Amino acid sequence: MTHDTLLQVNRIRKSYGKRVILEDADLELQTGECVLLTGDNGAGKTTLLRILAGLERPDRAMVNDGRHTHSWRQARKELLRLSVYLHQTAYMFDGSVSDNLAHALPRPLQRDHSRRQIRLALEWAGLDSLAKSPAKSLSGGERQRAALARAWLSQARLLLLDEPTTNMDYHARQRTLELLHALKAEGHTLLLASHDPGHFLPLADRQLGLRAGRIQPLVWDTPPAATADIPFNVMPMRRKLTW
Amino acid sequence: MESLSEATRQAIVLLLSGNTELWTIIGISFRVSMTAILIATVPALLTAFALSHWRFPGRRLLITLFSTFLSIPAVVVGLTFYILLSRQGILGDWKLLFTQTAMIIGQIALCFPILVVMGHTALQSAERSAWETARTLGAGSLRALYMVIREVRFGLLAALLAGFGRIIAEVGASMMLGGNILNYTRNIPTAIALETSKGEFSQGIALGLVLLIMAFSLNAVLHQLQGRGLPVP
């Protein structure tokens, strides 16, 4: 384990009844890296992400947060604090887009301060014009950007993204990829799960494959073609979020 | 026997004249039923949340039991607590029979299953991702629970209305546990039953009108809220 390890989880086991999903899976994430996790449908990508988010209890896992090794019971709180999990289809609460972003702010914050942070986040995600719109009426791409803005506001160090561009058209996908790149540039650690890795290749520092319940570094005989063609050196960030 | 229209006219006059006995009965009715629903709401909603959120042994059995309790007649609930609270009963030492407290206990038992079952249905309609999104955004368990409850607030309000409607209009438990004592345990339904048995229809109709107006007002408020959505706190 290196000194800038953000999270190390070993010997993860998870089964549903007799069906074993993860068996002795090991994963180490470094601060600021983007890791692409691939695997077929049903391979256990979502389950792994949910375990790492502290939302799903594994049968067994040893979690190291870079300082201490914890049993699952101790680790869950730490994982919830460390990470934000983004569902395949982001959930939006009743209320406006701004209201939804407010849920991500650490409490308690001064009212004026909150408004300023929310405005920055809306601007960052390109959702300024939708600030007062009902969040439940957003399109898939807008929802994902709102969810990323929430993650950005929450200041979580680890973002766990489950198929973040599923069912998006070209433009929506490109804007989402821009935001992911901006998050990475800010030092967030990203773990992206996708069964269609082509879109994320320019973003990923390394790739892992989930096969038969185990995580292995992925080595391609013929790497899949990168299907993302945005100029990633162009950052959509206009202002950095400060507290 | 007076005609229905004449009885209704007399009922309205009785209501508007501020008849003390009539308004005391109305006051007792609302005080007892409001207390019962207020006491039952939080534990019932927590039970509903536990049933919808966690998987544990006996969960399905509990849901089935609460659903079964929905159809138990009020008089059976009254009889059960009558036996428990009567002098020879295991709770006889509490000396609660024929008091408002006994009526409240009976009404809690009546509305609790309604709140649990309808609350469970409402909470199940909330996507699991609502709870998970709240948690992953840093909300503690209580805050996340509040956020989920807010998502299904109209379903839960409907559950509260149904529970309140059940207990404000029930006769059996109130009659057996309260004893229909004037100015103490006589509430709207027991008074209607008594006045009708005496052939005094006007007071019965007046009290029935109060129940109808209350039901209409509560439902109108609920539909108004549903129509425009509650503001975000």
Give the pLDDT confidence of A55-103 residue by residue, as tens digits: 999 999 988 876 777 777 788 989 999 999 999 999 999 999 999 999 9
Q: How far apart are CA A107 and CA B88, in angstroms?
A: 55
Residue A28 has pLDDT above 80, yes or no: yes
Cα–Cα distance list, B4 to A55, A122, B14, B169 (Å): 63, 64, 15, 21
Say which amino acid occupies A130: L
Residue predicted with more confidence, B229 or A31: A31
Phi, psi of B167 (to 5 degrees): -85, -30
Contact A87 B129 (CB under 8 A): yes
Q: Could A94 and B232 be called an inter-chain contact, meaning their C-beta atoms sit closer than 8 Å?
A: yes
Measured in angstroms, the CA of A231 and the nearest CA of chain B are apart by 30
DSSP B127: -
In this prediction, residue A224 carries a pLDDT of 59
* Average pLDDT score over residue span B194-210: 90
Does the beta-carbon distance from A106 to B232 stay under 8 Å?
Answer: no
Mean pLDDT of the region B142-168: 93
**A154 touches B at CB < 8 Å:** yes
Amino acid at B83: I
Name which of A82, A199, A186, A210 is nearest A144 in CA terms: A199
Percent of chain A beyond pLDDT 70? 86
Which has the minimum average pLDDT: A161-175, B64-78, B219-233? B219-233
Residue of chain B minimizing CA distance to A151: B137
What is the mean predicted confidence (pLDDT) over A12-37? 94
Q: Is the pTM of this model over 0.90?
A: no
* The two structure tokens encoding residue A112: 């004026």
Q: How far is B46 from chain A (nearest CA, A)?
A: 20
Write out chain A residues lying below 8 Å of B132, CB-based. Answer: 53, 55, 85, 87, 91
pLDDT greater at residue A198 or residue B159: B159
- Given a cut of 70, whether residue A240 has pLDDT beyond it is no
Which backbone phi and psi does B185 adopt, to 5 degrees?
Answer: -125, 5
Work out the angle at residue A135's Cα, subtended by the Cα atoms of residues A133 and A136, and round it to the nearest 5 degrees. 120
**ipTM summary value:** 0.86
Backbone angles phi, psi at A139, to 5 degrees: -75, 170
Domains with residue ranges and CATH for chain B = 27-188 (1.10.3720.10)
